Amino acid sequence: MPAALLDTSIDRINAVDLLDELVPILRKVPETGSRIYQRLATIFNAAVIDGLRPDNPATGRAGHSARPSQ
């Protein structure tokens, strides 16, 4: 992940930010992109539980994956 995204407060990151960074990785190295996506989803779930943000930008409605098709 680029430093600009890493330096952004977790409550200010949105789904577009994540997709902008993940899509190129998923296209080049799908397995690595998938692992990064899973880890980010876990981190954002924890942030929701801890009250740091209202939603998880790595998931869609009803908890469905927002990850793009490979």
> Quick check: 58 and 47 in contact, CB under 8 A?
no
Paired residues of 65 in beta bridges: 59
* pLDDT, tens digit, 9 for 90 and up, residues 1-27: 667 788 999 999 999 999 999 999 999
Question: 3-7, 30-34, 47-51, 54-58 — which is least confidently predicted?
Answer: 3-7
Domain regions of the chain by residue span = 3-51
Cβ count near 19 (within 10 Å): 17
Q: Calculate the alpha carbon distances from 27 to 22, 30, 69 in Å.
A: 9, 6, 10
The pLDDT, as a whole number, for residue 69 is: 53
